[in-house]
Structure 1
Amino acid sequence: MPPQTFRCVGCGAYWPRHWPTCNRCWRHGHIIPWSERQRAAIDSKPAASNARAVARMNWGEIEQSAYPELRLRISALVLVYGEAGAGKSSWACSLINAIKGPVCLIAAEEGLSPTLANRLQRCRIARDDFHVLTRASVDAAVEFATRIKAIAIALDSVQESAWSATELRHVLGVCPDLKLLVAVAQVNRGGLPSGPNTLRHEADVVVRVEQMRWAIDKKSRYQDPIGVGGDVLPPKEIS
């Protein structure tokens, strides 16, 4: 049997024992028993290539019309975080919706709900090839994304789905058509992404969202992050 740990349902932090109060988000009574799931099967599939093939790979820019000032390259992992209601989920949905081709939202936090329906309507998303997946493990998500030939995936949220930073990167590697993975993160009491620092370290771009405004938070492997940002939605569409 996998070892049992404890998890804060408020911020997603893991603990080796039960505590009355979470020392990361300081919420009281939110820590519950949590069984460690087995590692995803994709972790046992190594990637192999050669120098010539890697040199010939297309690492060009990803074309997207939602945020023209944001530069992304193929195989990018983007971490977007912010307080509840700040607009981080709308930002992630708008970004992948602006990419041509099949895309997938993994709605681990809200599922198929009126809240999600309202967000998609607010973001004016009604495409047949904007797929929504819920209650999916890492391996199930990889199988689905491969089958629909997904170009981009948004995971909302990392804490609720309990995907690790390593698994996020592996998903980009094993889905043959996938160019972009956006990981939505909750925040702790200090306003930083909840969970281990490996999420921020692994990400190619880190975006912070506050009050329906977004900005690159110090880290981008593709451009100077200073001054890059704007509205999550055009002002007339914010409600």
Structure 2
Amino acid sequence: MFACSNCDAQFPKWAGRCTECGKWGTVVDENGQETTNKFQVKSKAKAAKSVPIAEAAKGSDPGRVATGVSEVDRVLGGGLVRGSLVLLSGEPGIGKSTLVAQIAGTVPSLYVSGEESAPQLAGRFSRLNLNASGVNFLEALPVETIVATIEKEKPSLAIIDSVQTLVSAELDSVAGTPAMVRYATSLLLDLAKRTNIPILLIGQVTKDGAIAGPKTLEHLVDVVVSLEGDPVHAYRLLRTMKNRFGSADEVGVFEMTATGLATVDNPSARFLEERKNVAGSVVAAAVEGSRVFLVEVQALVEKASYGTPVRRASGFDQNRLQMLCAILSKHAGLKLGESDVYVNVIGGLSLE
């Protein structure tokens, strides 16, 4: 069987384009069937006993693990819930490994890495002036070995960098395939629930900014957070996409420095500190999650050099820009149909 790595649609044979989501080059061979697991219902299974919710809730609060990074704790609703599976995604070079290293520097952790070697990780901790005494390193071995190691060592936090590098000794599939990602994530989710250990997964993204792997990856995990920003600029946004234990619409602001990601206490002041009051520049109030930021938005309108006018936006939705241009042309009397329009949000921010 073949499956789309973007939407998880199934196909009996390979195709260059997924007919469900329209993406090109995402249909891959699942390369093997997933092994039988304990969740499969057998033909002569016995009935289980249900438990009243009111009774199950008594004294069952799992509690949270503080990460030591105030903005991360605020975005997650107070820290990492014990027994939760958290997925952190972001573009290459955006600062994912830096952020998890800062968390590992304060929480006793088992760091499983398929991206870096032990000396490379030690060098990262040294450059960031982080305390690595509570961090144990493990190479990205088969996921079954990783599960057994976590069960034996029982760290306060397990970090997997990244889920796309995991392989299995039981499943005949290569790293990064939809079947492999689903299988490994299912094992880690079961481990987190059984041991009450929070597990932080790092996920890679595609060129379109979507999380690489099957869509079921996002459904399996408890929390999905995304680290966003322009690698050229210093500011980063940590945005919750899904959160079973708190608000799914929170945003944290960081600044990349020589010693890691620093919390920005007053984002509006930082975004506007170099602003010059010139034509084509305005201050706009942008709502991101439960917070309101003041940001500088620049616009340039120029007579079109060619027959079809150009619309370009950086940090602003392209479709919304098209709609605003149409409204201004219709109701404000502006002849934008003959002009190129450029919009830029200062600071490398991406406004929803």
What is the TM-score with the length of structure 2 in the denominator? 0.51
Give the distance between the partners of 1:129 and 1:86, measured in 2 at CA.
25
Task: Tell me whether 1:98 sits opposite 2:106 in the alignment.
Answer: yes
Q: Secondary structure at the match of 2:226?
A: strand
Identify which of 53, 56, 61 aligns with 1:58.
61
- 1:119 corresponding residue in structure 2: 124
1:72-111 correspondence runs (5 A):
72=79, 73-99=81-107, 101=108, 103-108=109-114, 110-111=115-116
CA deviation map 1:32-81 (0-9, x unaligned): 988548649xx4389x9955456432322322211342323222221111
* C-alpha spacing 1:118/1:202, structure 2 compared with 1 (3 Å): same
1:1-239 correspondence runs (5 A):
36=32, 39=35, 43-44=37-38, 50-51=51-52, 52=55, 55-66=58-69, 67-70=72-75, 71=77, 72=79, 73-99=81-107, 101=108, 103-108=109-114, 110-112=115-117, 114-161=119-166, 162-164=180-182, 165-174=185-194, 176-178=195-197, 180-210=198-228, 211=231, 213-231=236-254, 235-238=257-260
Which amino acid in 2 is paired with 1:237? Answer: T
Identity of aligned residues (%): 21
Give the distance between the partners of 2:24 and 2:86, measured in 1 at CA.
23
- Partners of 1:87 and 1:232 within 8 A in 2: no
Q: Secondary structure at the match of 2:208?
A: coil
Give the distance between the partners of 1:61 and 1:120, measured in 2 at CA.
25
Give the distance between the partners of 1:32 and 1:113, measured in 2 at CA.
32
Give the distance between the partners of 1:49 and 1:123, measured in 2 at CA.
50
* C-alpha spacing 1:33/1:225, structure 2 compared with 1 (3 Å): closer
- Of structures 1 and 2, the larger Rg is shown by 2
* C-alpha spacing 1:21/1:94, structure 2 compared with 1 (3 Å): farther
- Partners of 1:91 and 1:232 within 8 A in 2: no
Which amino acid in 2 is paired with 1:119? Answer: R
* C-alpha spacing 1:105/1:138, structure 2 compared with 1 (3 Å): same
Which amino acid in 1 is paired with 2:190? Answer: H
Gaps of 5+ in 1: none
Superposition deviation, residue 82 in structure 1? 1.1
- Partners of 2:227 and 2:238 within 8 A in 1: yes
* C-alpha spacing 1:192/1:32, structure 2 compared with 1 (3 Å): closer
CA deviation map 1:201-233 (0-9, x unaligned): 223322111336242243223333445212276
Range moving further from structure 2, 130-139 or 219-228: 219-228
- Partners of 2:87 and 2:223 within 8 A in 1: yes
* C-alpha spacing 1:129/1:181, structure 2 compared with 1 (3 Å): same
What is the TM-score with the length of structure 1 in the denominator? 0.72
Give the distance between the partners of 1:237 and 1:25, measured in 2 at CA.
40
Superposition deviation, residue 155 in structure 1? 1.0
Which amino acid in 2 is paired with 1:77? Answer: L
The alignment's C-alpha RMSD in Å is 3.9
Gaps of 5+ in 2: 41-48, 167-179, 262-352
CA deviation map 1:160-214 (0-9, x unaligned): 114423223112023x251x11111111121110111112222332211133624
Q: Secondary structure at the match of 1:118?
A: helix
Q: Secondary structure at the match of 1:56?
A: coil
Give the distance between the partners of 2:199 and 2:255, measured in 1 at CA.
18
* C-alpha spacing 1:228/1:19, structure 2 compared with 1 (3 Å): same
